[in-house]
């Protein structure tokens, strides 16, 4: 009889499944779960379905978070997509049913940032889209498929005198974080603590699972940047940020183009531009201009007290009003206070 078991993130049986599953991404690696869990002091593990011989046939990494409504297991906090991995559709169904039973017995809701098998006890909802670009044609071929507007603005960026630096250094991540704070304040969104980016740099970027891209002026001032994470053939633009005073130079276009080139040069098969909520149509159009496919993002939850997968638009709007009119220090302070409960 098969069963659900709890495994450490670095379990050999789990890592074997990650290595053997084409759908696995950098978010399935132990390093990502540890970066998230270590920042906020939360425990992490893998919930896995095993066959009678003890082989992992399906599983999903989870972090036990504490929200205002109580504890929950999330796969994974601050992650656009982390669907369960399985060797077959039957194994996925067994994992999905097992997780619902596990949640009921433990009294802890489980939320998965991805689709699960259609079995009883789960709620699933489309929360946004991800734009996925197939890289197999090569960067120069892909450039011809960009929208006319993107091609024009990319040419403008290339003539502006800006250049993009690809780096894995601490100073590069520090420069990006400064841009990140500016961007989040402009958007009216709390900013993740600096220690989160330090953990990403230490656990993922330095070991080679990512890169920091910075669009810089001839004097070396960073005006836009991106953090791209990668593993198992998939690159993901996890964070983007920019200084609005330099938008006329189109630095964001230069960074996105460099992300595509970097992913192609390092042998990736696909590039994901990350989650865009359904209501953000302008951002969806911007990402679609790079020629990728718009893929619905489905989240799932089971257990008593499962979260509203539709989001908290009213609360976000009220909080945004305060942040936009406050110093950057307030943006960072609210992030340090609230993010651990908003996972």
Q: What percent of the chain has pLDDT over 70?
A: 88
pLDDT of 322: 54
pLDDT of 315: 42
Question: For the chain, which residues make up each domain, given as ranges?
Answer: 3-128+299-338, 130-298
Is 3.40.50.300 the CATH classification of the domain at 3-128+299-338? no
| pLDDT tens digit sequence for 286-334 | 999 999 999 999 999 999 866 556 554 444 554 555 555 566 665 665 5
pLDDT of 313: 46
- Bond before 76 cis per omega within 30 degrees: yes
pLDDT of 149: 97
When pLDDT is cut at 50, 70 and 90, the band that residue 68 belongs to is confident
β partners of residue 63: 44, 74
| pLDDT tens digit sequence for 86-133 | 999 999 999 999 999 999 999 999 999 999 999 999 999 999 999 999
Question: CB-side exposure of 220: number of CA atoms within 13 Å?
Answer: 2
Q: How far is CA 44 from CA 39, 106, 229, 321, in A?
A: 12, 16, 20, 34
**What is the DSSP pairing of strand 85-86 with strand 56-67?**
antiparallel
**Cβ distance 301 to 113 under 8 Å?**
no
Q: What is the mean pLDDT of the chain?
A: 90
Does residue 11 carry a pLDDT above 80? yes
pLDDT of 335: 55
When pLDDT is cut at 50, 70 and 90, the band that residue 246 belongs to is very high
Q: Is there a common fold for 3-128+299-338 and 130-298?
A: yes
Does residue 283 carry a pLDDT above 50? yes
CATH superfamily of domain region 130-298: Gcn5-related N-acetyltransferase (GNAT) (3.40.630.30)
- Overall average pLDDT of the 25-52 stretch: 95
pLDDT of 304: 80
pLDDT of 308: 56
pTM of the predicted structure, to 2 decimals: 0.90
- Who wins on pLDDT, 53 or 265? 265
For every residue of 44-96, DSSP letters joined together read EEEEEEE-TTS-EEEEEEEEEEEETTEEEEEE-TT-S--PPEESSHHHHHHHH
CA distance 34 to 27: 10
- To the nearest 5 percent, what fractions of the chain are helix, strand and coil? 45, 30, 30
């Amino acid at each position: 009889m098969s069963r659900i078991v709890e495994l450490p993130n670095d379990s050999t049986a789990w890592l074997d499944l990650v290595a053997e599953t084409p759908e696995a991404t950098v978010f399935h690696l132990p390093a990502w779960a540890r970066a998230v869990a270590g920042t906020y002091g939360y425990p992490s593990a893998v919930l896995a379905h095993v066959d009678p011989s003890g082989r992992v046939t399906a599983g999903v990494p989870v972090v036990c978070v504490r929200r205002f409504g109580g504890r929950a297991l999330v796969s994974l906090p601050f992650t656009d997509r982390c669907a369960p991995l399985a060797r077959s559709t039957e194994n996925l169904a067994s994992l999905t049913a097992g997780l619902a039973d596990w949640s009921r017995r433990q009294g802890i809701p489980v939320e998965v940032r991805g689709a699960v098998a259609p079995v009883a006890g789960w709620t699933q909802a489309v929360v946004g889209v991800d734009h996925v670009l197939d890289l197999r044609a090569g960067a120069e071929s892909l450039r011809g498929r960009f929208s006319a507007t993107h091609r024009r603005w990319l040419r403008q960026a290339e003539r502006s005198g800006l250049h993009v630096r690809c780096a894995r250094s601490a100073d590069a991540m520090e420069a990006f974080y400064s841009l990140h704070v500016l961007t989040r304040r402009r958007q009216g969104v709390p900013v993740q603590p600096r220690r989160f980016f330090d953990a990403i740099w230490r656990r993922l970027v330095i070991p080679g699972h990512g890169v920091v891209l910075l669009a810089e002026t001839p004097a070396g001032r960073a005006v836009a940047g991106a953090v791209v994470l990668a593993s198992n053939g998939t690159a993901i633009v996890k964070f983007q940020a920019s200084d609005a005073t330099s938008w006329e130079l189109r630095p964001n276009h230069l960074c996105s183009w460099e992300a595509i080139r970097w992913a192609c040069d390092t042998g990736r098969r696909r590039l994901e531009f990350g989650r865009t909520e359904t209501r953000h149509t302008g951002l969806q159009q911007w990402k679609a201009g790079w020629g990728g496919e718009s893929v619905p993002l489905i989240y799932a939850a089971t257990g008593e007290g499962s979260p509203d997968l539709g989001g908290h638009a009213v609360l976000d709007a009220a909080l945004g009003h305060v942040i936009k009119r406050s110093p950057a220090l307030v943006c960072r302070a609210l992030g340090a206070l609230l993010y651990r409960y908003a996972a």
